[in-house]
Structures are given as C-alpha cells and as structure tokens.
Amino acid sequence: MLQLHNLILHNLIHMAKLSHVLILHCCSMDSLSHLALLAQSKNIFTQFQPLHSDIQLNDDFLNHNILKLGVFLDINCDKSGTVLDMASAKRFFSHRYHWLIYDRSMNFSVLESHFKEAQIFVDADVTYVTHDPFSKNFLLYDVYNKGRQLGGELNITADREIFCNKTNCRVERYLSELYTRSALQHRKSFTGLTMRATAVVTALPLNVSIKEIFDFMNSKYRIQLDTYARLGYQARQPLRDMLDCKFKYIFRDRWSDGNATGGMIGDLILDKADLAIAPFIYSFDRALFLQPITKFSVFREICMFRNPRSVSAGLSATEFLQPFSGGVWLTFALLLLLAGCLLWVTFILERRKQWKPSLLTSCLLSFGAGCIQGAWLTPRSMGGRMAFFALMVTSYLMYNYYTSIVVSKLLGQPIKSNIRTLQQLADSNLDVGIEPTVYTRIYVETSEEPDVRDLYRKKVLGSKRSPDKIWIPTEAGVLSVRDQEGFVYITGVATGYEFVRKHFLAHQICELNEIPLRDASHTHTVLAKRSPYAELIKLSELRMLETGVHFKHERSWMETKLHCYQHNHTVAVGLEYAAPLFIILLGAIILCMGILGLEVIWHRHCTLH
C-alpha cells in the first residue's frame, strides 16, 4: 500500500505536475492516513471520496473550477463503474482531468468494457496502472481514442515501468516512445479517420450537385461571392493534409439563424460537426457556446465615396487668400501703400518742371510691382531706384512663397470630405448603395447602434429609389463610386478593395473617402466550447501561420490595403478651385465699368458747364 501511495504522488508531482487530487477509493480511512500525511508534506490538496456500495454519489461531485484536477480511481471498487459511466456521459475524460486508474488484477477486459463505448477523445489524459506479475513493479498505460464518431478505436499503449519502495519511486524502463514527445504530438495523425466539417454556401442552392458545390468552393471566379466561405474551404485543405484525415462536409445555406442558433453554429453547438470551415466574428452571445482558436483574417466594412466635384462645392471668395494669413496680407498691403506714397514724393522732387504722376498713379505703380508686373515709370535718382529695387525684391519673394504654397496644395493630398461619421453620412444628401452580402445586410438592418439605425431609416427605408438601386452587387457598386462622384457604397474591404484595385486609376484611389461601418475586427476559427480537438487544431493552425501557408491563402483572396500614388498624373484644376478667381475678375470688371461710366458722366458735365 505504501508503494501505491508513493506512485500516486510520483505521478501527480513529476508526471502530471498537479497540486489538486481527488482520491476515489474503497479502503478504510486508517489505511489512507499515510497518503494524506505524505500529500500534505508535498503541498498537495487532497480530497477523499469512498466508493462503497452503500454510498450515493452526487452528479456534480467531479465538477471543479481549477485549471486541471487529478483523479485517482480504484477500478476494483463497487462504484467504479458508476463513476466511469458518469465521467463518460459528462465528458470528463478531457484535458481538464488527469485520471490515474488503478487495477490490482490487471484485467484489460474490464478496462475495455468501460472505455470501448465511452466518450473519450484525443485530448484524454487517462493512465491505467497495474502490477507486473513478475517484477511486481507498476506498469503504466496511456489510454485514449481519437474519436469514436470519426471511426477511431480505443488505444491502450504501454508507457513505462516504475519501481516504488516505501520512500520513493523511479522509472525502471520505458516501454514505448511516449516520453519523447507530448501526448498530442503522438496523437496528431488521424490516418483513416473522417472529421465532420460544416461549411456554408449562399451563392448556390443546396439542391445542386455536390460536384458543382465543390467546383465553386475550389474556384476564384467572382471573388465577391461567399468570399470568407471559399477562403475558409481552401485554407482548410492544408489542415486536412496535416492531420492526414478526410473531411465529410455538411453544407448549410447560412452561418446562423441568430448569434448562436442554426446554420454552421448550430452544427457545432449540437455536436453535429467537429470543425467549421468558414470563420466567424466572435461575439458575447457566441462566447457562451463557442471558443476562438486562432485569428483567421481581417474583417472591416466601410462606406466609400469620392468628393462631389461641383462648382458650388467648397466655393469661397477667399480660396486664393488662404496661402497667407490675414496679418501677412495686411502688412503687405500697407507696405505697397507706403511704397506708393514714397514714389509719389520721389516723383515730385525729381520732376519739378515736368509732368508729375498723381498719388493714385504712384500707388498703382507700387501695386503693379507687388504683382510682378513691372512699372512703366521709374525714379531717376539713385535713392529712388534703390527703394524701387527693394520693393521689387520683396514682391518677388512674396510671389515665390505664394506660388509654392498654391502648387504644393494642388500636388498634395486630395482634399477629403467633411463627412467623417455615419451620423453625418445619414444626415447628408448623398445617395447610398449597400453590398447585399449576408453579414452586411443583417448588420445594417438589425444593428442597435443609433447611427446605423438612422442611416438605415433615412437611406434605405426613407429612400425614393427602388431596392435594386440600393442593394447593388459589389462590382457595380464600386463602378458607381468611380463614375458618380458623391455616391456612397457600403462594402467589406475583402470584396470591395479587389474591384477598386481593378477599376480605379492610381490617383482616383487617393480621392476615396472611407467611413467605418463598424469597428474593425478579425474573424476567428471557432470550435464548440468543450471540443476535444481544440488544442490539436490550434497547434496545427499556428504552424500554418508560422510558415506563411495561411498568409498565402489570405493575401490571394483579400486586398486589405489600397496604395495611393498621388504624383503619377497631371493635376487638373477644376472650377471648384478656379471659380473664385473668375468671380473676383468679373467683380473687378463690373467695378471698372461703373467707374468708367461715372468718369464719362463727369466729363460731360464739366464740358456742358
């Protein structure tokens, strides 16, 4: 008995590395006092549960909230069969339990009778212990099944032989190569087995032939149809090869009926499938039943549009005053006025007996010099010419500053729209088109976000356009954005960017405005909450991520970034930029004509009198 106690502690501390154990026994409490003291000395929390025939076991006595629980079971006890059946029904032969099953009689038929039909899977941590009839050492066997529903059979593999005395235990010899690698590394090959995989197809009716569905899933034709479903299908083929198994596909026409019912999610929750081919957006409602395994791909939905280029858009009389601040313009105007006055004084001093220009003419000469137009009359004296030269140099520097700022503004980043949020978009007069994918349509129609609801109410329900003008296929919607400036198209970047790259010129991409429809997130590979294949699939997919296999498939299907090359074309100045100039010119002509009319009237008046 002392040797068995030492074996239990050796298995828990050195092999399983646990600190909590439940002892299911049919011995007297006095015989277990040594085990309790020994466990206490090793800082192991121990709980004892007798399995006598008159003991009534609660249904939840094996439940726990710790990371992993060690369970020692004496299979020769009367209630051991009841415990094993209960553990099988509740799937307690999982990675959250370490089972050490002791059999004094070395009767494998009893073990097989209990585990042949049990719910034991690839993540099971079950060790069967018995005595070697010759050496009296303990023999340890690893017990697992890769999945009875997959066609797997019970596997009992000899692990090691351990010698124990009254004080300690040591490994006498290894009976296999199980000790060289982790359990999952030994069990990762599913050769000859068939996993149940649930997939979604919305672009084809499910009553078509299986060959048509597989041809569609393997193709890249019309990439906007079932993008994530087909990407998931093609990205799972390397996973199937790594596991060396077959997939039996269950095709559905939807991801789910709600957040956690129907479709592929229903297959996972109801244990009709072991793996979902298409990725999911992880949410709180789904977290109650599903667990994310690995990040699969980027998921973003945006509202894209180009700026409306109309004469009235952004029309402002101060368009050509923007390169300088008001203080700079005022200082420059005062400088020209002062220079005009000085030129007038200079002309008076130089031309005492000749015609002298008036003050207004001198100011006009100063203004012409400031506009880099030269002057038809210049001072004759050295001082006057030096002053005029200083005015010309100052005007030349101001002109260069002004033109460089204007050119840099034209060649710089295109002006983006003032519409930056969904609420501003909903309140605008821009027409909106929406990509008719399942996840986009459901989100727009059922979202509880106030700005999304307002957008749907004003742009869809309140629109006078027909539904076929609102729910537009991806390629047609992107072309409408290109051809109709100010048209807004709501799409996912996985599908929309592909057609933007195909149909837009490089500088047109720079003119695009984007408003997020919802926060950017990622899709994930998800499995049922208590799936026994979670860790195995996680390690396999991480391996594909590390080697770039998954990245290759994702980049082959998705454009997640648009490249803007804004200096590869000639900048065309439109009326929205030039209109203020023409308005100013027209106003000046009208003013001059009015002044000319006044001068004519004044001249006639003076002639008559």
For 317-411, CATH gives 1.10.287
Q: 3-state DSSP call for residue 179?
A: helix
* Residue-wise pLDDT tens digits, 95-108: 999 999 998 877 78
- Residues 339, 363: Cα–Cα separation, whole Å: 7
- Please state whether the predicted TM-score (pTM) of the whole model is above 0.85: no
For 1-183, CATH gives 3.40.50.2300
CA distances from 334 to 331, 367, 403, 588 (A): 5, 11, 21, 21
* pLDDT at 309 (0 to 100): 58
* pLDDT at 102 (0 to 100): 92
Specify the CATH architecture of the domain 188-299+525-571.
3-Layer(aba) Sandwich (3.40)
* pLDDT at 401 (0 to 100): 84
* pLDDT at 313 (0 to 100): 44
Q: Residue-wise over 388-399: b if at least 16 C-beta within 10 A, else e?
A: beebbebbeebe
Q: Which parts of the chain have pLDDT scores under 70?
A: 53-54, 308-321, 352-353, 409-415, 566-577
Q: Residues 6 or more apart from 409 whose CB is under 8 A from it?
A: 323
* pLDDT at 272 (0 to 100): 92
- Domain spans of the chain, in order of start: 1-183, 188-299+525-571, 317-411, 575-608
- Residues 262, 273: Cα–Cα separation, whole Å: 13
Q: How many CA atoms lie within 13 A of 5 on its CB side?
A: 19
Q: What angle do CA 203, 205, 211 make, to 5 degrees?
A: 90
Q: What angle do CA 224, 225, 230 make, to 5 degrees?
A: 105
* pLDDT at 21 (0 to 100): 92
CA distances from 279 to 200, 228, 468 (A): 10, 7, 29
- Residues 522, 317: Cα–Cα separation, whole Å: 47
